[in-house]
Amino acid sequence: TILDVVLDKELNFESFGVCEGTVSCSTCHVVFSEDVYSKLEEPLMDEMDMLDLACGLTETSRLGCQVY
Ligand code: FES
């Protein structure tokens, strides 16, 4: 996942992925271009519910811990 990449590469995005991928925080919110977004798998209900709480939600928002 994108969260795995951030952790593996030790990228310093403050507070990114606080819940460590348990789909309970939305701090891994990522906004994709429409082109990339259209190629992703559909989000599951858990992700949709948590995305509703994300700051700055857009039509192409996803949770980085759920995108492979
Ligand atoms: Fe918490 Fe993705 S890391 S929802």
Q: Which atom of ligand 1 is nearest to the CA of 64?
A: 2
CA-CA distances (angstroms) from residue 32 to 17, 62?
17, 8
Q: Is 21 in the pocket of ligand 1 (CB under 6 A)?
A: yes
Do 25 and 2 contact (CB within 8 A), yes or no? Answer: no
What integer pLDDT is reported at residue 36 of this predicted model?
Answer: 98
Q: Is 2 in the pocket of ligand 1 (CB under 6 A)?
A: no
Cα 1 from Cα 51, distance rounded (Å): 16
What integer pLDDT is reported at residue 60 of this predicted model?
Answer: 98
Per-residue pLDDT of the chain (68 residues; tens, 9 = 90+): 999 999 999 999 999 999 999 999 999 999 999 999 999 999 999 999 999 999 999 999 999 999 99
What integer pLDDT is reported at residue 13 of this predicted model?
Answer: 93
Do 9 and 1 contact (CB within 8 A), yes or no? Answer: no
CA-CA distances (angstroms) from residue 67 to 15, 29, 49?
18, 10, 15
Q: Which atom of ligand 1 is nearest to the CA of 23?
A: 4
